[in-house]
Amino acid sequence: MTRVYLSPPHLTGREAELVSEAIASNWIAPLGPQVDAFEAELGDVVGVEHAVALSSGTAALHLALVLLGIGPGDEVACSDFTFAASANPIVYTGATPVFVDCDETWTIDPGLLDRALAERRGAGASVRAVIAVDLYGQCCDYDALEEVSARHDVVLIQDSTESLGATYRGAPAGGQGALAAFSFNGNKIITTSGGGMLVSRSREWIEHARKLSTQAREPVPHYEHVEIGFNYRMSNLLAALGRAQLETLGERVAARRRIRERYRDLLDGVPGISFMPEAPYGTTNAWLTCIVVDPEAFGADRETVRLVLEAEDIEARPLWKPMHLQPVFASNVSFGGDVSGRLFERGLCLPSGSSLTDEDQDRVVATLLSARMT
């Protein structure tokens, strides 16, 4: 029986054509015309003029913090309910993450963020920025976050690594923060196998990021460096792959939203199964379809369901383990935690790739329901 993956790459056929063009041009090293085109095309899609293609979404977040001069002695507020790659770059700079729980949208709670910033400032901390994570394809409430951030004089960074193709109040995800990071990892809605992008409306920031991402070389004939740089640029070959994928972004989002709605229909009325809500202020890209399992009502807990699926060669994963529960961040300050803690305990991501067939989805649902009888 063929394994059903959580979110596998979905190739269109155009990838080979554009990668072949890059090879034929002999631009196979980092940078080149495919990189330039990918930056421009993604900027057009998300409605942000300035973009720099990088080796990963993590690199994009790291450079965003470096651009702001964040370092030792500073704190950065960060969504608690997320993957570690949202928080790790804070540590790379020498700054300290402070974690803030989510609300009913599963994204960072603006009211709790307001409290966190006030309390940390009251304690004498230097809080410089907020990393707000668009979770599982859903944007945060940026109107509320922008108001809180402005009042506390912190820079709002948008972690859009999961939300390409989503919208916030009718605008594409990625244009809401002062800086925004995207990821094109193999499991994302479009992929370059590995890669990312940093976008901003500030030309100055993006040009500085471009310099930093190529070892911060000065524009002179010899190798001159007046600041520390990084080897973070995307290759021309991977950019060609990304351009082909980006052409079908709308189709990918439509497919994943259809898959999510079909899961809703197939599981409608099943006691103890609920879905991640869609916030009223936007549309998600449905990157992953996520459910919450009430063990008493359903008759089995989340981990039993996951293991039953795995036994049938179906990949499913728990929701993100909150940062305040991660051993590496056990000593960090956090605000709230009950909401994300409960979601982690009961939440499960179902196979959601845009190439998922109805037959495979039927198999997932039938197997999931069989867990009640184990």
- Residues 41, 166: one domain? yes
| Tokens encoding 122 | 């009251």
pLDDT of residue 374: 56
- Residues 213, 151: one domain? yes
What residues are paired with 74 via a beta bridge?
126
- Residues 48, 60: one domain? yes
| Tokens encoding 8 | 């596998």
Q: Kindly state whether residue 8 falls inside one of the protein's structural domains.
A: no
Q: Kindly state whether residue 159 falls inside one of the protein's structural domains.
A: yes
193-221 core/surface letters (b: 16 or more CB in 10 A; e: else): eebbbbbbebeebbebbbbbbbeeeeeee
- Residues 29, 178: one domain? yes
pLDDT of residue 23: 84
| Domain span holding position 48 | 14-246
Domain boundary among 223, 246, 269: 246
- Residues 190, 272: one domain? no
Alpha-carbon separation of residue 349 from 96, 108, 361 (angstroms): 30, 19, 13
- Compute the distance between CA of residue 249 and CA of residue 229 in angstroms, rounded to an integer: 32
pLDDT of residue 14: 87
Torsion angle defined by CA atoms of residues 277, 337, 63 and 235, in that order, rounded to the nearest 10 degrees: -50
- Residues 239, 258: one domain? no
Alpha-carbon separation of residue 126 from 11, 88, 90, 302 (angstroms): 45, 18, 14, 40
Q: What is the CA radius of gyration of the chain?
A: 21
Report the domain count for the chain.
Answer: 2
- Residues 218, 286: one domain? no
Q: Do the Cβ atoms of 313 and 1 come closer than 8 Å?
A: yes
Domain boundary among 188, 222, 246: 246
Domain boundary among 217, 246, 275: 246
The string of DSSP letters for 280-296 reads TTEE---SSEEEEE-HH
- Compute the distance between CA of residue 149 and CA of residue 155 in angstroms, rounded to an integer: 6
Q: What is the CATH number of the domain that holds 317?
A: 3.90.1150.10
Q: Kindly state whether residue 9 falls inside one of the protein's structural domains.
A: no
- Residues 298, 350: one domain? yes
Residuewise pLDDT in 10s, the chain (374 residues): 799 999 999 988 888 888 888 888 877 767 789 999 999 999 999 999 999 999 999 999 999 999 999 999 999 999 999 999 999 999 999 999 999 999 999 999 999 999 999 999 999 999 999 999 999 999 999 999 999 999 999 999 999 999 999 999 999 999 999 999 999 999 999 999 999 999 999 999 999 999 999 999 999 999 999 999 999 999 999 999 999 999 999 999 999 999 999 999 999 999 999 999 999 999 999 999 999 999 999 999 999 999 999 999 999 999 999 999 999 999 999 999 999 999 999 999 999 999 999 999 999 999 999 999 75
